[in-house]
Chain A
Amino acid sequence: MPAAAAIKVMVVDDQTSMRAMIRRALQDLGFKDVRDKASAPEALSSIKTDRVHLVISDFNMPEMDGLQFLEAVRSDPVIGKTVFIMLTGSADKEIVQKAAALGVNNYVVKPFAPAALKEKIERVFGELT
């Protein structure tokens, strides 16, 4: 079984089209268990009760942004070590640096090709296929 099939993923983005696109890209990479939520608070409560291995989250979201979400995940004793990849806009260097300080595992600049997403995930998990 390819490694990707064993990795449970939570995709978080407030834009439906973006979630659908990321889901499709992940499925093309061999991921089988991909969930998604439109907001960080929903995703947080979901992964606390049903844990995942990887979170892929947008930065720019109302209510709770990607950095606040990352901080909430990292400060949780149970899910604190979940791999966290952040999606950012190209101009968000400061955000990437803040995310790095908070312990993000990697980041992907939008708009991204599936190959870029694959590369960033593989830098954390090793080869997917």
Chain B
Amino acid sequence: MRRVSIVQGENAIVVEPGVVVSTLLGSCVAACLYDPVAKVGGMNHFLLGEPGADHRVSAGDMQRYGVHAMELLINGMMARGAMRHRLRAHVYGGGNIVSGLGGIGTANATFARRFMADEGIEIAHSDLGGTSARKVEFLPHEGKSRCTRVADHVPERPPVPVALPPVGGELELF
């Protein structure tokens, strides 16, 4: 069994059997998506917003980054043969672990649920909210996942403030 571990901001897409993708979650959300026909699956790990030292992330920023994180995963899966209308989801995380973050975990969980509803992706499994950190293991090819609550210590990287994209692109063509 090959193991792939992802952290905040990453995703992993798998088409072959016998690969387990894992991640550790606090207030972040991991979406495990799979297409049971194409046998393509993937997981991402994202945080919609975390108050940074010098700026606050607006609701619009949060929404934008969440939609982008989901799009990267879905597009990557579709490039490997998945079909959008066949996707199913397992969603985990969104715990309110650290007090004083203004229910950021709840906001992440709410986003995840709303996103799946808007896109018509059935949530086959979920474990969202609460106050525990979680360990998630996902077998993308098989479409199976396992989520275990872990001790009160949050073993994820320190929150990284969301960096706003520069206005304009990287190429000066226009």
Contacts and interface: CB of A to CB of B under 8 A. Distances in A.
Q: Do A and B bind each other?
A: yes
Interface of A: 14-18, 20-21, 60, 62, 88-90, 93, 96-97, 100, 105-116, 119-120, 123
Contact of A107 (B64, B119, B169): B169
Contact of B72 (A88, A89, A108, A123): A89
Contact of B168 (A20, A88, A100, A116): A116
A62 B67 contact: no
B113 interface: no
A87 to B, nearest CB: 10
Given A15-B119, A21-B63, A21-B64, A110 B169 contact: no
Contact of A116 (B63, B71, B165): B165
The interface size bin for chain B is 20 to 34
Interface of B: 60-61, 63-65, 67-68, 70-72, 74-75, 78, 84, 115, 118-120, 164-165, 167-171, 173-174
Nearest to B60: A114
13 contacts: A15-B119, A16-B119, A17-B119, A90-B170, A106-B174, A109-B165, A110-B68, A113-B61, A113-B164, A119-B167, A119-B168, A120-B174, A123-B174
Contacts of A109: 165, 169-170
Contacts of B60: 114
Nearest to A112: B165
A17 B169 CA distance: 22
A17 B165 contact: no
Contacts of A20: 118
Contacts of A21: 63-64, 67
Given A89-B72, A96-B173, A106-B174, A17 B167 contact: no
A18 B68 CA distance: 8
Nearest to A18: B67
B118 A16 contact: yes
B65 A111 contact: yes
B55 to A, nearest CB: 13
A44 to B, nearest CB: 20
B171 A96 contact: yes
A41 B68 CA distance: 23
Contacts of A88: 169
